Structure 1
Amino acid sequence: MTIQSLNHVTIRSRDLETTRNFYVDIVGLRDGERPPFGFPGYWLYAGAAPVLHLIGSRGSTATGSGAVDHVAFAYEAEDYDRVVAALAAHGFDCARQTVPTHGSRQLFIEDPDGVCVELNFPAA
């Protein structure tokens, strides 16, 4: 048995529209086709893959990342300054880190439901 890749991550959201807008407008995913399940939600795509699924909270009051610490998205190295500027324009204060062993840069922000989101850029 060999796993081919991670298929997707699902985030339970208290406000689907706000969370969808965050991942589309801020992170850069694309809203795409989703099967007609019997509950509201979105499938958000990176390229042709629906990597992030959003579903309603079903009345849950739980917040934060829970057992999953964060979700990370990969960008091209040359996107770093553009993404930092876009985050600032949307009022996001992000934590920044450079990985000592290979120089990749990371930005950390929280989505509208308190999930930690890492934006990862390889060394230039």
Structure 2
Amino acid sequence: MVAADDIDATRDWYARVLGMRPGPHPDFGFPVHWMYLGETDIVHIGPSAKAAGEIQKKYLGRTSQGSDKETGAIDHIAFRATGLRSTLEHLRREKIPFTQRRANGQALFQLFLYDPNGIKIELNFAAQEAAGVEPELMASELMKS
């Protein structure tokens, strides 16, 4: 679950930037948004520890932020994606900062961006989609001695 200070703004970001749509979810007794691609729920959004009510705290057992067992070790969330050029245009139009990388073996072209809560999002595109698109960094360059 993405723990957000503003769950509606976070919902809107995932819809606007990543093309997800809010969909059905169980009634937990506290506000949540489940974001879907097609018929599959992909990202769950709920209140951060700062905004969590007693029901949420009891249901989840704890909130990750502010506890001694934080889930802050997660570096990023990765998604397979298609439509590299249209995604690049969309991110630029929405003024979403991102970086471009090419993975080893040239099999993946990657975009990295951040959601409103500081969570790093990785979008992985097939290398064939990146013909003529120069990445800012290639992983193979980092391994040269």
Q: Distance in 2 between matches of 1:35 and 1:89?
A: 35
Calculate the TM-score normalised by the size of structure 2: 0.71
Unpaired segments ≥5 residues, structure 1: 1-9
1:75 maps to 81
Match of 1:101 in 2: 105
Structure label with greater radius of gyration = 2
2:123 corresponds to which letter in structure 1?
Answer: L
TM-score (norm 1): 0.82
Following TM superposition, the consecutive aligned residue runs of length 4 or more in structure 1 with deviations greater than 6 angstroms are none
CA-CA distance at 1:102 after TM superposition: 3.4
Alignment partners' CA distance in 2, 1:58 and 1:99: 36
Name the structure with the higher helix share.
2
Identify which of structures 1 and 2 has the higher relative contact order when contacts are C-alpha pairs closer than 8 Å and 6+ apart: 1
- AA matched with 2:13: F
- Matching residue within 30, 35, 38 for 2:29: 38
Unaligned runs of 5+ in 2: 52-64, 129-145
> Aligned-pair distance for 1:73?
1.4
Query: In the alignment, does 2:57 pair up with 1:66?
Result: no
Q: Secondary structure at the match of 1:105?
A: strand
* Same amino acid, percent of matched pairs: 32
CA RMSD across the alignment? 1.7
Count of residues in correspondence between the two structures: 111
Question: Following TM superposition, by how much is the alpha carbon of 1:39 offset from its aligned partner in structure 2, in angstroms?
Answer: 0.5
